[in-house]
Structure 1
């Protein structure tokens, strides 16, 4: 009988300990999400390493899983990692389509477009970009506006829709982003193009 009580007591303590460990793991995951977001623009490689260290992303809350899916996709893309499927970003797109803020919704749709375009699914990519353009109307972060407009400019340019392409590039140019914002995005490759665009006469 004594052994039975000892076993029950041991089992209860194990459940408590595992619960504490699980709680600590979730707290650590939440903290890493915050740091991953903090470094996303300035040091995407650091953001990727932090996010990749989250041991059990599937144990996060539904909201945190959506955040993880978006941040990890952004970090991977900005680090130049090959993304072979839109399954991860779809978690974020599905969640932010009805919940969360406009920034995350627009970003999720933008990166879905990036992935689809890389996979050769241009029609679907263009649709995602257009959805992102609609969602970005209430977004205050001009960097997201910039990336959406340049994505639309690029894809239209590839199909020789030059009037639409130039229109989107001009929208991006008209944002008048500061030099620190350019540097944070790592988008300096577009700067010569925009300098050239600035010299074009207005139609």
Structure 2
């Protein structure tokens, strides 16, 4: 009888051992207190990034045990640094997240990791790698819940497109980001994106698009000083390109005198006065930009100079500006082509990687199914074995009384 009871208890004993082993494995995998602090930091990150940074800074990194825990801390700390305007040019903080999440992370974790990796490249003035990294971020948005991170990646990428004079992509990105900010009622950021998109439409000389964006901008109230100045500047640029001379004269009459404006605004004023026919004043603005020593849009400066100098009969100066403009434009087109070629190659590499990842996932799935089937077979065989032993034990019990009766 004792042997039989031991046989029946074995499956229960095995299940109990398995449960204990699994519990120990889970408890050893992470620190509940660290997880609680990381979760708290993530929850307050958007509204109170300074508090999130202080909370993360108080965590002893030596207590981070698993790769997943280190990756989570690294990503959250990178987010906190960025949101507190602490720019970094090294990957020391983010590297654990790059090493773990790009292969093992959820869609949101991959997106955020790529985004902050791109931010670091941008801080390092490595614009090519920054642009391609933001592209990877935006290629990994399937299943993403953090729409605000998508919007930020679009805006960051748009800034780089502007540096590469790709104004179509610059405008498109800002319009996409504006829609996301509108969905979450982030009016300030939505208007910022629309203003940049309006600038892009003006640079593309797309009147229809500029009209639609301008109508959206005019629906906003309570603009701050910078936004109001930007809107006025882009309205002036719109009028200089598409408006009547009457409208242009009205806008210019409201413009404060002097040359204390930003270089780019003075370039717009030069274009406006040239359109109005006052080339002397236009040239004064161009000269003030050139002599200011401040950073300005060289290509825009040269394009305006060509027509202003031509109309002032300074043909030698106009030709010189034209040649300089042409050479710079050729260099920009070459850089844009090279960047697009690189993007195509990287996209192809991403597609190949996605296919390889899918193949590996299929192997894991089928492997898991095989293991489950094998376990089922083992359990079935063991159950049959136990059943057989039970029957044999019962038969032994039945035989023993018969044998005893025969002897008697």
Residues 119-134 of structure 1 correspond to what in structure 2 (within 5 A)? 119-134=124-139
2:210 matched to 1:200? yes
Question: TM-score when scaled to structure 1?
Answer: 0.76
Summarize the Cα distance change of 1:190–1:92 in structure 2 as closer, same or farther, 3 Å threshold. Answer: same
Separation in structure 2 between the aligned mates of residue 129 and residue 167 of structure 1, nearest angstrom: 15
Q: 1:161-189 deviations in whole A, cap 9, x for unaligned?
A: 1111101111112323322xx38xxxx35
Contact 2:178–2:193 (CA under 8 A) maintained in structure 1 = no
Summarize the Cα distance change of 1:150–1:82 in structure 2 as closer, same or farther, 3 Å threshold. Answer: closer
2:97 matched to 1:92? yes
Contact 1:69–1:88 (CA under 8 A) maintained in structure 2 = yes
Q: What's the CA shift for 1:55? A: 1.2
Q: What's the CA shift for 1:127? A: 1.3
Alpha-carbon RMSD across the aligned residues, in angstroms, is: 2.5
Summarize the Cα distance change of 1:58–1:83 in structure 2 as closer, same or farther, 3 Å threshold. Answer: farther
Map of 1:177 onto structure 2? 183
Contact 1:102–1:135 (CA under 8 A) maintained in structure 2 = yes
Query: Which of the pair has the greater relative contact order for Cα pairs under 8 Å at 6+ separation?
Result: 1
SS in 1 for 2:59: coil
Q: 1:137-195 deviations in whole A, cap 9, x for unaligned?
A: 3312211221111111111112211111101111112323322xx38xxxx35624415
Q: What's the CA shift for 1:196? A: 6.7
Summarize the Cα distance change of 1:134–1:121 in structure 2 as closer, same or farther, 3 Å threshold. Answer: same
Summarize the Cα distance change of 1:155–1:82 in structure 2 as closer, same or farther, 3 Å threshold. Answer: same
Separation in structure 2 between the aligned mates of residue 120 and residue 61 of structure 1, nearest angstrom: 33
Q: 1:92-131 deviations in whole A, cap 9, x for unaligned?
A: 1221112121001001100110111011111111111011
Map of 2:155 onto structure 1? 150
SS in 2 for 1:98: helix
Residue number among 60, 74, 77 corresponding to 1:72 in the alignment: 77
Contiguous gaps of at least 5 residues in structure 2? 1-27, 199-208, 213-408
Q: 1:68-93 deviations in whole A, cap 9, x for unaligned?
A: 00000000111011313023222212
Residue number among 33, 39, 44 corresponding to 1:28 in the alignment: 33
Separation in structure 1 between the aligned mates of residue 89 and residue 177 of structure 2, nearest angstrom: 28
Separation in structure 1 between the aligned mates of residue 61 and residue 91 of structure 2, nearest angstrom: 20
Contact 1:136–1:144 (CA under 8 A) maintained in structure 2 = no
Question: TM-score when scaled to structure 2?
Answer: 0.40
Summarize the Cα distance change of 1:193–1:133 in structure 2 as closer, same or farther, 3 Å threshold. Answer: closer
Which segment is superposed worse, 149-158 or 26-35? Answer: 26-35
Q: How many residues align?
A: 174
Larger radius of gyration: 2
Separation in structure 1 between the aligned mates of residue 210 and residue 62 of structure 2, nearest angstrom: 49
Contiguous gaps of at least 5 residues in structure 1? 1-22
